[in-house]
Amino acid sequence: MLLAEVTYRCPLHCAFCYNPTDYDKHTQNELSTEQWINVLRDARKLGALQLGISGGEPLLRDDIEEIVEEAGRLGYYTNLITSGVGLTEKRITAFKAGGLDHIQLSMHDITEEINNFITNTRTFELKKKVAAMIKDHGYPMVLNVVIHRYNIKHVKEILEMAEALGADFVELANTQYYGWSLVNRNQLMPTKEQIDEAEVITNEFRQRVGNKMKVYFVVPDYFSERPKKCMNGWGEVFMIVTANGDVLPCHSARVLPNMVFPNVKANGLGWVWQESPAFNKYRGDDWMKEPCRSCDEKHKDLGGCRCQAFLLSGDAEAADPVCTKSPHRHLIDEAIANAQKPYLQAQPILFRNDKNSRKLIEGENRELVADFHALP
């Protein structure tokens, strides 16, 4: 599975974005069309079959048509992951002709107010139009809705909106805390009760609509007792090529310390996948410390997420703090408790935009990221 994060530029400024807070470093040195086409060819030779085209907002590049067409020729199953901003009749017609298989559209809320607030833009009406356009062109309509405190009370209405739009698949993705969403964690995290209620509502909705619409409910790991098998195993399935050509085993791997990530400008993908120190670092379980090393469940989750372990505990080889066997589980419980404190909730949200990214790079607002071992 190859994920191409073709640009970090984005017209939306979502507070829950998992992109790196220092993404502004990587907006002026994006790979060229030709470099992307070479990436697709190399990865296909290695056996990649799935291509996700993501960002930022991929449609801010004007060569997505060419990338899609090459992916079609190479036999990829290609999925465009978009906010819908920049999707026009002309472009979607070209994508269809070029062999794009699937479009995943992000939606934010049933209410214009919350959509526009959380994305820090005015995009609500546009998203509804784009949803209809996707359907008209014979694509299944696949909506991804990131769930957080501001929209969790509207899950029923969100599902009803999706039904009215003719959605075939809806993913209710509870916010995971990386990048911008980690900085805004106190403002975004719902309570356990709200999540349980949202799940009950989702199940009732599933019963009612049956097979017509498939709903995924992604349980947030903070509220679980065991971590998720991050990326289905480090260097097992996923390869992420970012806007500037860095190759990562996981979207947020650049936060990890003492790691040098390969770059497609200098390294062939075959070497990257098989030989590079970065892709081998957390492959398998040799790297594990206690309590993971002797844990009889270690093969189920491989110790969870390395980035989350580092961001919260400062140790990339620690057990994911989500695990109740982790000596750092208290960090998760504190985060859950903190998110209910009115004075922390009242802190301003740091929206994902170029200005805020530059400020973080230049060392302003350090207190927001220092706790998370995430200084740029």
Partner 1 sequence: MSTISDNQDNQQAVTGAENGVAQSDVYAIARHYRFQWEEAQQCYVLLFPEGMIKLNGSAGEVIKRVNGRASVADIIQEVSQAFPDVPEIAADVLSMLNLAVDKAWLEKRN
- What is the distance between the alpha carbons of residues 369 and 352, in angstroms, rounded to a whole number? 14
Q: Of these, 13, 148, 185, 251, which contacts partner 1 (CB under 8 A)? A: 251
Which one of the spans 24-32, 152-160, 169-177, 311-319 is the region binding partner 1 (CB under 8 A)?
169-177
Site string (44-63) toward partner 1, x via CB under 8 A: ---x-xx-x-----------
* CA 202/CA 152 separation, integer angstroms: 11
Task: Kindly tell me which of 121 and 252 has the beta carbon lying closer to partner 1.
Answer: 252
Strand order in the sheet with 77-82: 214-218, 169-174, 142-147, 102-107, 77-82, 50-54, 2-5, 239-241, 247-248
For residue 348, the minimal CB distance to partner 1 (Å) is 26
- Least distance in angstroms from the C-beta of 2 to partner 1: 12
Among 79, 115, 121, 242, indicate the residue that binds partner 1 (CB under 8 A). 79
Residues 315-374 close enough to bind partner 1 by CB under 8 A: none
83 lies in the binding site for partner 1 (CB under 8 A) = no
In the complex with partner 1, which residue's Cβ is closer, 156 or 359? Answer: 156
Residue 218 binding partner 1, by CB under 8 A: yes
The answer to the question of residue 176 lying near partner 1 (CB under 8 A) is: yes
- Return the residues of window 97-126 that contact partner 1 according to CB under 8 A: 101-102, 104
41 near partner 1, judged by CB under 8 A: no
Task: Report the residue from 16, 18, 180, 205 that binds partner 1 according to the rule CB under 8 A.
Answer: 18
Task: Please select the residue that binds partner 1; options are 28, 90, 193, 211, rule is CB under 8 A.
Answer: 211
Residues between 261 and 300 that touch partner 1 (CB under 8 A): none
Peptide bond into 56 cis (omega under 30): yes
Applying CB under 8 A, the residues found at the interface with partner 1 are 1, 18, 47, 49-50, 52, 75, 77, 79, 101-102, 104, 138-140, 142, 168-169, 171, 176, 178, 206, 210-211, 214-219, 221, 228-232, 250-252, 305, 307
